[in-house]
């Protein structure tokens, strides 16, 4: 018999099975808890709640381990490219040469966007935050491809929706940027690889041939790979819970983009660079800002520090810190905020407050410095995160559908008024 967990309530004992994952992670299966005991669990912020069994990403926050489909993130970041990683996440295996060529071609084939999308884009004021624009444009795909709305569509229709999404997202991201600049959009170029094509759509002057520096496209590939999936985080859980109602792929991903937007999640990369700029403008006194972060009467937090699951180090932050040094050197960029970032990191890692709470730099502490060196403006950083996270969201949505998970519907402990009678307005 498998290992059991015993729970005693009011002197009565109940047994629950323990699930063991492939990396020996254990979870008490409380699926029958309410039926057998009348109780539910209380776990605000889902800090101890496993909502699914997933075969996509493995993460050990204590050891600082992250792998996609079993492949360590360090190897993928060094040796693979973003499209290959996207294929791996979505379909479960690294592609053969022929599979990759077919995938790449299909993405090229679908990278154009219906011209009517420009009308939607034109409706936004140029000062709109590009995350809001992106989530709206992604959701608008439901109108252009109504077959994507059918929850029981064939595998081919679902896969076509997936390919369209990966193909059109970079075009939409670049168009959201062009809109914010009041500039004409650039169309995708089939002969360019994914990241180079993206940089072309972002930065090409329509009257010139745009040369993409391989250092830039390599850096972008690395950043997107590092962000490609991160198991059941806030935005991914959002995608899964929206998808569990049988909502469309595009509707679910649009919801995920909105969840990612917040400063405690994907929005942190924008906040980090704004914080570093503010520290520099204030004279660069890192001690003063560390003290502010520790002061419980001050709402300031050291952005890019701390993580819900990594309590030793974030493996992505290690890769990014090194990549940041390399890229800045190769591009000959000297960004003064890099030394402020390093000083802050060094001071925080020695400070009792941060050590005690196991607060380390996360993936976003250095990513903004790289994005800035690539010429990507601050308000686009979170959009870049969304571009990277897309294959992970798709893989998680697909897995949820394939394993036929039920609709997500947490419970609550009600702490409001007991039943009371309605009082007419004039008597209140
Ligand atoms: N600066 C100062 N103190 C912090 C920080 C920080 N960045 N992060 C956590 N703390 C403190 C909290 O005040 C709390 O202290 P207390 O125990 O004295 O009350 C303790 O550390 C634990 O923090 P929680 O907020 O409870 O930790 P939680 O796991 O809920 O939050 C989070 C994790 C949201 C990432 C948090 O560390 C944070 O706000 N970091 C800054 C924002 C950030 O960088 N977000 C990006 C996360 S990575 C990503 O989404 C890709």
What are 410-421's pLDDT values in tens digits?
999 999 999 999
> Distance, CA 367 to ligand 1 centroid (Å)?
18
Same domain for 343 and 239: yes
Q: Is 307 a catalytic residue?
A: yes
Q: How far is the CA of 308 from the centre of ligand 1 (A)?
A: 7
Instruction: For residues 141 and 30, state if they share a domain.
Output: no
Q: Ligand 1: which residue has its CA nearest to atom 22?
A: 357
Instruction: Name the residue at shortest CA distance from atom 30 of ligand 1.
Output: 308
Q: Kindly give the pairing relationship between strand 12-20 and strand 4-9.
A: antiparallel
* pTM score: 0.92
316 lines ligand 1 (CB under 6 A): no
Q: Domain range holding 128?
A: 63-405
Chain segment 54-100, per-residue pLDDT in tens: 999 999 988 989 999 999 999 999 999 999 999 999 999 999 999 99
Residue 413 lies inside a defined structural domain of this protein? no
Rounded Cα distance, 400 and 239, in Å: 10
pLDDT tens, 360-416? Answer: 899 888 898 899 989 899 999 999 999 999 999 999 999 999 999 999 999 999 999
Confidence at residue 338, expressed as pLDDT on a 0 to 100 scale:
87
- Asked whether residue 327 is domain-assigned, the answer is yes
**Ligand 1: which atom is nearest the Cα of residue 385?**
51
Ligand 1 pocket residue status of 275, Cβ below 6 Å = no
DSSP 61: T
Q: Do 28 and 77 have their domain in common? A: no
- The CATH number linked to 18 is 2.20.28
Same domain, 154 and 226: yes
Place of tokens 């808890």: 33
Q: Is 301 in the pocket of ligand 1 (CB under 6 A)?
A: yes
If asked whether residues 202 and 327 sit together in one domain, one would say yes
d(CA 190, CA 111): 8
What pLDDT was estimated at residue 32?
95
What is the atom index within ligand 1 of the atom nearest the CA of 301? 1
Q: Are 333 and 373 in contact (CB under 8 A)?
A: yes
417 is catalytic: no
Task: Inform me whether the pLDDT recorded for 30 exceeds 90.
Answer: yes
> What integer pLDDT is reported at residue 286 of this predicted model?
93
Q: What CATH number did the domain enclosing 140 receive? A: 1.10.580.10
Per-residue pLDDT at 203: 92
pLDDT tens digits for range 123-133: 999 889 999 99
Identify whether 417 is part of a domain: no
pLDDT tens digit string along 187-212? Answer: 999 889 999 999 999 999 877 777 88
Number of domains in the chain: 2
**In the prediction, which pLDDT does 313 show?**
86
Query: In whole numbers, what is the pLDDT of the chain averaged over residues?
Result: 94
Residue 58 neighbours by CB distance under 10 Å? 20
> Per the domain annotation, does 58 fall within a domain?
no
Assigned domain for 422 exists: no
The partner residues of 15 in beta bridges, in order of sequence, read: 6
What percent of the chain lies above the pLDDT cut of 90? 78
- Tell me, yes or no, whether 236 and 348 share the same domain: yes
The answer as to whether 292 is a domain residue is yes
Lowest mean pLDDT among 99-113, 246-260, 359-373: 359-373
Please report whether residue 421 resides in a domain: no
Residue whose C-alpha is closest to residue 247's, from 391, 393, 384, 134: 393
Same domain, 350 and 231: yes
Q: Are residues 127 and 17 in the same domain?
A: no
Rounded to the nearest whole angstrom, what is the distance from the C-alpha of residue 236 to the centroid of ligand 1?
19
Indicate if 12 and 146 belong to the same structural domain: no
**Count of C-beta atoms within a 10 Å radius of residue 408:** 16
Q: How confident is the model over 331-345, as a mean pLDDT? A: 89
Quick one: pLDDT at residue 214?
A: 87
Specify the residue for token string 């709206």: 136
pLDDT, residue 1, reads 62
Cα of first residue to Cα of last residue in the chain, in angstroms, is: 62
Is residue 88 within 8 Å of residue 73, measured between CB atoms? no
One domain, residues 35 and 171:
no
Report pLDDT for 267.
86
- Average pLDDT rounded to a whole number, residues 345-370: 91
Q: Is the CB of 374 under 6 A from ligand 1?
A: no
> 374 is written with which tokens?
């690539």
């Amino acid at each position: 018999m498998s290992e059991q967990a015993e729970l005693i309530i009011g002197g009565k004992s109940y047994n629950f099975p323990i699930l063991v994952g492939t990396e020996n992670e254990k979870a008490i299966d409380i699926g029958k808890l309410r039926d057998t005991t009348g109780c539910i669990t209380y776990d605000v912020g889902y800090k101890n709640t496993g909502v699914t069994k997933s075969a996509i990403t493995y993460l050990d926050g204590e050891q600082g381990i992250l792998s996609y489909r079993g492949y360590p993130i360090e190897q993928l970041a060094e040796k693979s490219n973003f499209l290959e990683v996207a294929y791996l996440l979505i379909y479960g295996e690294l592609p053969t040469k022929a599979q990759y060529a077919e995938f790449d071609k299909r993405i090229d084939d679908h990278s154009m966007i219906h011209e009517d999308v420009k009308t939607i884009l034109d409706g936004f004021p140029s000062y709109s935050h590009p995350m809001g624009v992106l989530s709206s444009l992604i959701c608008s795909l439901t109108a252009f491809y109504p077959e994507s709305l059918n929850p029981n569509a064939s595998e081919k229709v679902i896969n076509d929706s997936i390919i369209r999404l990966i193909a059109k997202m970079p075009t939409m991201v670049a168009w959201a940027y062009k809109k914010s600049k009041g500039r004409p959009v650039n169309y995708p170029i089939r002969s360019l690889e994914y990241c180079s094509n993206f940089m072309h759509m972002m930065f090409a002057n329509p009257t010139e041939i745009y040369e993409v520096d391989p250092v830039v496209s390599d850096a972008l590939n690395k950043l997107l790979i590092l962000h490609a999936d991160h198991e059941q985080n806030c935005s991914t859980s959002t995608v899964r819970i929206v998808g569990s109602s049988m909502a469309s792929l595009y509707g679910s991903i649009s919801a995920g983009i909105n969840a990612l937007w917040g400063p405690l999640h994907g929005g942190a990369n924008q906040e980090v660079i704004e914080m570093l700029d503010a520290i520099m403008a204030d004279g660069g006194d890192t001690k003063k800002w560390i003290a502010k972060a520790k002061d419980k009467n001050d709402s300031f937090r050291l952005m890019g520090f701390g993580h819900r699951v990594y309590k030793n180090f974030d493996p992505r932050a290690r890769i990014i810190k090194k990549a940041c040094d390399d890229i800045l050197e190769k591009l000959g960029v000297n960004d003064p905020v890099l030394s402020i970032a390093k000083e802050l990191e060094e001071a925080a890692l020695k400070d009792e407050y941060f050590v005690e709470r196991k607060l380390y730099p996360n993936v976003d502490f250095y990513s903004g410095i790289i994005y800035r060196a690539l010429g990507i403006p601050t308000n686009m950083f979170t959009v870049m995160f969304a571009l990277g996270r897309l294959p992970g969201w798709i893989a998680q949505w697909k897995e949820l559908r394939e394993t036929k998970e039920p609709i997500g519907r947490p419970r609550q402990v009600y702490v409001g008024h007991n039943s009371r009678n309605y009082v007419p307005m004039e008597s209140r």
